[in-house]
Structure 1
Amino acid sequence: MNIILGTAGHIDHGKTSLVKALTGIDTDRLKEEKKRGITIELGFAHLELPCGNRVGIVDVPGHEKFIHNMLAGAGGIDMVMLIIAADEGIMPQTIEHFGILSLLEIKHGLIVITKKDLVDDDWIEMVEGEILEKFQGSFLENAPIISVSAHTGEGLELLKNTLSQMVGKVENKKLTTPFRLPIDRVFSVDGFGTVVTGTLIEGRVKVGENVMLYPTLEMPKVRSLQVHGSPVEVAVAGQRVAVNISGIKKHQVSRGHTIAPIGSMENTMMVDVKLNILESTKRTIKNASRVHFYHGTKELLAKVILLDKNQLEAGESAYVQLRFEEELSLKVGDHFVIRFFSPLETIGGGVVLDANPVKHRRNQPTVIDSMTIKENGTKKEKVYLAICEQSKNLRTIDYIRDHIGKEPITKELNKLVEEKAIIQLNDSLYLSKEYLAVLKVKLLKLLREFHKAYPLKEGMNRAEVRGKLIRKAQVNAIDSIINYFIDRKIIRWESEFISLPDFTVVYKEADTALLNEVGDLYKSNGFSPPSLDDLAKHYGKNKQYTGAITMLKKSGTIVSLDLKYFIHKEYYEKALALLNAHFEKNDEIALGDYRDMLGVSRKYAVALLEEFDKKKITRKVGEGRRRYK
C-alpha cells in the first residue's frame, strides 16, 4: 500500500525536526530556510515503517505567510500528523491547518506533541486535555496522541508503531482510473531536461506514455520515472513521483499544472460546488465576492456566485458556482479550499459537484434540484441526471462515469434503459428520451423543409443531415442517432438519400422541362461539361436544378466524374470507347495524348481518367495510364 503522510501545525512546533528524527532526511533544502530556521517550501521524505510499508512524507510550512505552500502539499495526503509543541500548545496556525484538513475531508490522522523534553509530565497532561477538548466532534476526536522529543528520541518508536497500525485503515487508491499528478515542483537536470514532481493522486503512469499538461494542453512524453529517488517503470497512486518529461521546456510548466492522460480532463472557467464556511471564521461571503481558490497545487482567483442565498456566514453551507479568471482542470468529487480575498485567511472549502457546468442564473429551483442530486442523490439518480444534462453534447459513457465520480455504472444504465428513461444508441452513447424527442421534431422539420425546397431531389444526403441536425458532432455519434430513426421507420434511407417515409418525387410539366433542359446542357457540351459552379451561376437563385441533377444521375443520364463534374452518359461511353480503341494498339496512354484525342482541356481529361481508375478500367503508371489487370 502506498500512503502519503502529511505534517500540519503552527510555525516552530518542530515539524521538520520530527521528520528528520524519523527519517534522517532534512526537508528544509533552501538557503533561506537554513538561514531563517523556518520551513518556506514543501519538503519531502520517506519512512520505512515496522509493518513493512513505506510512506511518503510531505512536510508543510507552518508560517501564516506560507499557507499557500501548505495548501499545495495538503491536497494529496492520506493521513496527517497534526503537530503541537508541548511548550506552546494549540496556536493560530494549528487551528487554520486543522480547518484546512477538515475542508479537504482528510479522514485519518494522529496528534503528535513535540518538544516533550522541554516540559514535565503534568504539563503534557494539561496539553492533552486542551487537545481533547478542542478537537471533540472532529475527524481527530479519537486520534492517538503521542508525545515525542526529536532531540532525545523519546516516543519515536511508539510513533512509528502507531503509524504502522494506522496505515492499514487507509482506503486503497483507485488504480484503474486515469492517472493524475498535480505538479508541486519543476526543475531541470543537465542531460535530462525538464523534471516535475508531485503526489500521484489516482491511477498509474508508465515510462514512454504520451501525456497532457493541463490546462495548457501541451503533450509531452514520460521519459523516465523515479519514486523516492529510485528509477521505476510504473508509478502508482499514493506515491511521491518525479517525472522526467520530454518535448517541453521548464518555462512551459509551473506549480499548479497537472499531468494526466490525453483527453482525460477538460479545461473550465467555472465549477459547481457545495461550499462550506468554517465555524471559526469572522468573515461573510456575499454574492460575487472574490476569493482565493486552492485545488491540488493550483491557486487562482475566483468569484463566488451564490445560487440561492444572498450571503454566507460562519458555519453555513450553500450551492455555489465559482467563476475563475483563468482556466483550470479538475474532476467531480475533488476537494478545494477558499481564502478571503483580503486579508488572506482560510474561510471555507468544499467539494466539486460539476467540473464543466453551464453558466447558471441565480434563484433557479431546477438548478438547485440538480445540484442536490449531484451531492446526495442515489447513483441511479446521478447517472440519469448526467445523461439528461449531457445528451445535447453527445457525451460518451466514459464521460458520464467520470462526471459522477468514476464509479462503475453498468447496473444503473441497464435499469434506466429497461425503464425506457434513456435510450442506448451504441456501446458508448446513451441519450435521454426527451432529447431524442427534440431531435425527432428537428429532423422531421428539416426534411419537410428540404422536400418543399427541392421537390426533384429524393432526399438529403447523410453528410448534409449530420451537419444540420447537430453541428460539430462526431460522425459515429450522429450516425447512431440517424440509424435509430431509420430503424424505427421515422425516416427513410434509400441509396444515398434520407427522406420522409412517404415522400416521392412527383413531376410537374415544369419539372420535366427543367430535367430536359439540364440534360441538354450536359449533352451539348460533350466532353467539356459544365461544373456545378457553372450551373449555379447559370440558374442563380433557382436551386431546382440541383434536384434535376440528382434525378439525371439516378436515371443514368449523366455520370459523376468527381464532386464538381458530371458528363452525359453518351459522351462518357464515347470517351471510354476511344480509350479502349487506343489500348487495342498501345499498352499505355499519356494524359496529353488522351486530352488531344478528346479535344478538351487538361482538367476534363484528368477527371475522366481518374474516374476510370476508380472503376478499375485503368491504372496509373508514372504519368500515363495502362489497362487495369
Structure 2
Amino acid sequence: MNLILGTAGHIDHGKTSLVKALTGIDTDRLKEEKKRGITIELGFAYLDLSCGNRIGIVDVPGHEKFINNMLAGAGGIDLAMMVIAADEGIMPQTIEHFGILSLLEIQHGVVVITKTDLVDADWIEMVKDEIREKFKGSFLENAPIIPVSAYTGAGIEELKQALSQIVSQVKAKKLSTPFRLPIDRVFSVDGFGTVATGTLIEGRVKVGENIMLYPTLETARVRSLQVHGTAVEKAVAGQRVAVNLTGIKKQQVMRGDTIAPATSMENSMMVDVKLNILKSSNRSVKNASRVHFYHGTKEILAKVILLAKDELEAGESAYVQFRFEEELALKVGDHFVIRFYSPLETIGGGVVLDANPVKHRRNQAAVISAMKIKENGTRKDKVLLAIFEQSKNLRDIDYIRDHIGNESITKELDELVEEKKIVQLSEGLYLSKEYLASLKNKLLKILREYHKTYPLKEGANREEVRGKLIPRASVAAIDSIINYFIDKKIVKWESEFISLPDFKVVYKEADTELLNEVEKLYKNGEFAPPSLDDLAKYYGKNKQYTGAITMLKKSGTIIALDLKYCIHKDYYQKALDLMNNYLKENDEIALGIYRDILGVSRKYAVALLEEFDKKRITKKVGEARRLYK
C-alpha cells in the first residue's frame, strides 16, 4: 500500500531535521531555505518501513507566511506527523496546522516531540501532558507520542516502528477511479521538457496516456514517469509522482492545476459544501463575504453564500455555496480549507457535496433538504436525488455515479426502476418520473400546436420534434425519449411522422383547392419545377402549402428529387423516357446533352440524374451516365 506522510508544526520545531534523520534526505532544496534555515517550499522524501511499506513524505513549511504552501502539500496526505519542539511546546502554527489537518479529516497520525536533547525528562513529561490535553477529542487523541532527537538519533527507531503500526490502519486509496494528480511543482529538464510533480490522490496513470489539465483544459501526453526518482511505467494512488509531459510548454502548466483524463472532471464556477468553522477561529463568516479557498494545490478567491444563516460563528457548521472568481474542477467528497480574506487566518473548511451545482437562492427549504441528503442520505437516496437534479441535463449514468462519489450503484438503480421512481430509457440514460412527465406534457403541446398549424401534414418529422422538445441535446438521447413515448402509445409514429394518437388529416373544401393549386404549380413547372424557397415566397405567411406538399408526396403526385426540388410525376416519367430513348441509340448520356434535351438549366438536369442514380436506373461513369446493369 502506498501512503503519504505529511509533517505539520510550528516554524523551527525541527520538521526538516526530523525527516533527514528518518530518511537521510534533506528536503530543503532552495538556496534561500539553506541561507535562512527555514522551510519555504514543500520538500519531499521517502521512507522504507519494517512492515514492507514505502511511504512518501511531504515536508511542509511551518512559518505563518507560508501556510498557503503548507496547504498545497497537506491536500494529498494520508497520515500526519505533528512535530512539537520540547523546548517550546505547542505554538500558534501548531494549532493552525492541527486545525487544517482536522478540516481535511485526516484520520491517523503520530505526535513527535523533537529537540529532547535540550530538556530533561520531567520537562518532556510536562509537554506530553500539554499535548494530551490539547488534542483531546481529536484524531490525535490516542496517537502515539514519540520523543526524539534528530541531533543524537534518540527515539528515531521507535518512531519508525510507530509509523509501521499506523500505516496498517490507514484506508487504501481508490485505484479503480480515473487518476488525479494535483500539481505542486513545475519545472523543465533539458532534453525532456516539462515536468510536473504531485501526489497521485486516486487511480493509476501509465506512460503514453493522454491527459488533460484542469481547469485550463490543455491537453498533453505522459512521456515518462518517476516515483521517488526511479523511472516507472505506471504510478498508483498514494505515490509521489513526477510526470514528464510532451505536447505542452512549461508556461502552460502551473501549480494548482490538476492532471486527469479528459472528460473525467468538469470545471465549475461554484460548489455546494458543508462548511465547518474552527472552534479556535477568532473570526466569524458572514454571508457574501470573500475568502481564500484552498483545494488540492489550488488557491482561489470565492464568495461565501450562507444558504440558511446570515453569519457563522466559531465552532458552527452550515450548508454553503461558494461562488468562485475563476473556474475550478472538484469532485464530490473532496476536502477544502478556507482562510479569512484579510488578514490571512485559517477559519474553516469541509467537504464537497455537489461539484457542479446550479445557483441557489437562500433560505429555500428544498435546497437545504437536498443538501442533507447529499451529506447523510443513503446511497439510494443520493442516486434518486442526482437523477432528479440531472435529468434535465440528460446526464448519463457514469456522470450520476461520479456525482455521488464514484461507487457502484447498479442495485440502487434497479430498485428505483422497480419502484417506478425513475425510468431507464437506454443503457446509460435514466430519468426521473417527474422530468418525464414534464417532457410528456411538452411533447403533447408541441404536437397539438403543430397539427393546428399544419392540418394537412400527418405529423412532424423527428428533426422538428427534437429541436423543439430538448434543443441542443444529443440525437441519441432525445430519440430514446421519443421512442419511449411511442412505445407507451402517448404519441404515434407512422410514415416517418410523429403525431398525436388520435390525429387524422381531414380534408376541407379549401384544402382540396390548395392541393390542386400546389399540384398545378408543379405541373406548370414541367422539367423546371419551383423550389421550396420559391413556394415559401409565393405563399408568404400561409404555411398550409407545406402540408399540401407532404400529401402530394405521399400520394405519389409529386416526387422529391432532393431537399430543395420536387417534380410532378408526369414530367418525372417524361424525363425518364427522354433519357431512355437517347440511351437506346447511345452508350451513355452526358449532363450537357441531357440538359439540352430537357431544355432546362444544369441544376434541374443534375437533380434528375442523381435521383436516377439513387434508384439504380443509371450509374455515373466519369462525367456521363449509363444504364445500370
TM-score when scaled to structure 2? 0.98
- Asked if 1:85 is matched to 2:85, the reply is yes
Q: Secondary structure at the match of 1:537?
A: helix
Unaligned runs of 5+ in 2: none
1:187-231 Cα distance to aligned partner (Å, 9 max, x none): 122222222111111111222222221111122222222222222
Distance 1:177 1:475 in 2: 29
Aligned residue in 1 for 2:305:
305
Letter paired with 2:443: L
Q: For residues 233 and 618 of structure 1, do their structure 2 counterparts lie closer, same or farther at Cα, with a shift above 3 Å needed? A: farther
Aligned residue in 1 for 2:262:
262
1:378-410 Cα distance to aligned partner (Å, 9 max, x none): 111111111111111111111111111111111
Distance 2:628 2:88 in 1: 94
Name whichever of 150-159 and 374-383 sits farther off: 150-159
Distance 1:503 1:496 in 2: 15
Distance 1:614 1:10 in 2: 81
Per-residue deviation at 1:607? 2.1
Matches within 5 A, 1:374-523: 374-523=374-523
Matches within 5 A, 1:59-98: 59-98=59-98
Q: For residues 527 and 114 of structure 1, do their structure 2 counterparts lie closer, same or farther at Cα, with a shift above 3 Å needed? A: same
Q: Among the aligned pairs, what percent are the same residue?
A: 81
Letter paired with 1:562: D
Name whichever of 170-179 and 543-552 sits farther off: 170-179
Distance 1:590 1:56 in 2: 78
Aligned residue in 1 for 2:542:
542
- Asked if 1:189 is matched to 2:189, the reply is yes
Per-residue deviation at 1:626? 4.0
Aligned residue in 1 for 2:251:
251
Q: For residues 624 and 240 of structure 1, do their structure 2 counterparts lie closer, same or farther at Cα, with a shift above 3 Å needed? A: farther
Aligned residue in 2 for 1:363:
363
Per-residue deviation at 1:11? 0.8
Distance 1:547 1:374 in 2: 51
Name whichever of 102-111 and 43-52 sits farther off: 43-52
Distance 2:206 2:594 in 1: 59
- Asked if 1:15 is matched to 2:15, the reply is yes
Per-residue deviation at 1:543? 0.5
Distance 1:294 1:86 in 2: 31
Q: For residues 496 and 281 of structure 1, do their structure 2 counterparts lie closer, same or farther at Cα, with a shift above 3 Å needed? A: same
Aligned residue in 2 for 1:171:
171
Distance 2:347 2:482 in 1: 51
Distance 1:245 1:613 in 2: 52
Name whichever of 287-296 and 107-116 sits farther off: 107-116
Letter paired with 2:189: V
Aligned residue in 2 for 1:354:
354
Matches within 5 A, 1:576-615: 576-615=576-615
Q: For residues 584 and 114 of structure 1, do their structure 2 counterparts lie closer, same or farther at Cα, with a shift above 3 Å needed? A: farther
Per-residue deviation at 1:292? 0.4
Aligned residue in 2 for 1:46:
46
Aligned residue in 2 for 1:29:
29
1:6-32 Cα distance to aligned partner (Å, 9 max, x none): 111111111111112222222111121
Q: CA RMSD in A?
A: 1.4
Aligned residue in 2 for 1:104:
104
Aligned residue in 1 for 2:146:
146
Q: Secondary structure at the match of 1:220?
A: strand
Letter paired with 1:512: T
Distance 1:580 1:53 in 2: 85
Distance 1:452 1:583 in 2: 49
Q: Secondary structure at the match of 1:163?
A: helix
Per-residue deviation at 1:509? 1.1
Distance 1:197 1:323 in 2: 28
Q: Secondary structure at the match of 1:113?
A: strand
Distance 2:10 2:588 in 1: 89
Per-residue deviation at 1:158? 1.6
Distance 1:607 1:314 in 2: 78
1:406-435 Cα distance to aligned partner (Å, 9 max, x none): 111111111111111111111111111111
Q: For residues 33 and 555 of structure 1, do their structure 2 counterparts lie closer, same or farther at Cα, with a shift above 3 Å needed? A: same
Letter paired with 2:611: E
Distance 2:219 2:600 in 1: 51
Per-residue deviation at 1:628? 4.2
Distance 2:618 2:233 in 1: 53
1:511-547 Cα distance to aligned partner (Å, 9 max, x none): 1111111112112112222111111111100001111
Unaligned runs of 5+ in 1: none
- Asked if 1:568 is matched to 2:568, the reply is yes
Per-residue deviation at 1:608? 2.4
Per-residue deviation at 1:583? 3.9
Distance 2:385 2:35 in 1: 56
Distance 2:59 2:586 in 1: 85
Distance 1:123 1:622 in 2: 100
Distance 2:4 2:582 in 1: 81
Distance 1:426 1:246 in 2: 39
TM-score when scaled to structure 1? 0.98
Q: Secondary structure at the match of 1:460?
A: coil
Distance 1:254 1:297 in 2: 10
Per-residue deviation at 1:586? 4.1
Q: Secondary structure at the match of 2:482?
A: helix
Q: Secondary structure at the match of 2:594?
A: helix
Q: Secondary structure at the match of 2:219?
A: coil
Distance 1:21 1:627 in 2: 91
Distance 2:357 2:121 in 1: 56
Q: For residues 532 and 39 of structure 1, do their structure 2 counterparts lie closer, same or farther at Cα, with a shift above 3 Å needed? A: same
- Asked if 1:275 is matched to 2:275, the reply is yes
Distance 1:278 1:339 in 2: 11
Runs of 4+ in 1 over 6 A off after TM superposition: none
Q: Secondary structure at the match of 1:348?
A: strand
Q: Secondary structure at the match of 1:171?
A: coil
Per-residue deviation at 1:305? 0.7
Q: Secondary structure at the match of 2:290?
A: strand
Per-residue deviation at 1:258? 1.0
Letter paired with 1:283: R
Letter paired with 2:411: K
1:218-259 Cα distance to aligned partner (Å, 9 max, x none): 222222222222222222111111112222221111111111
Aligned residues between the structures: 629
Per-residue deviation at 1:627? 4.1
Distance 2:241 2:578 in 1: 72
Q: Secondary structure at the match of 2:300?
A: strand
Aligned residue in 2 for 1:296:
296
Q: For residues 452 and 140 of structure 1, do their structure 2 counterparts lie closer, same or farther at Cα, with a shift above 3 Å needed? A: same
- Asked if 1:530 is matched to 2:530, the reply is yes
Aligned residue in 2 for 1:207:
207
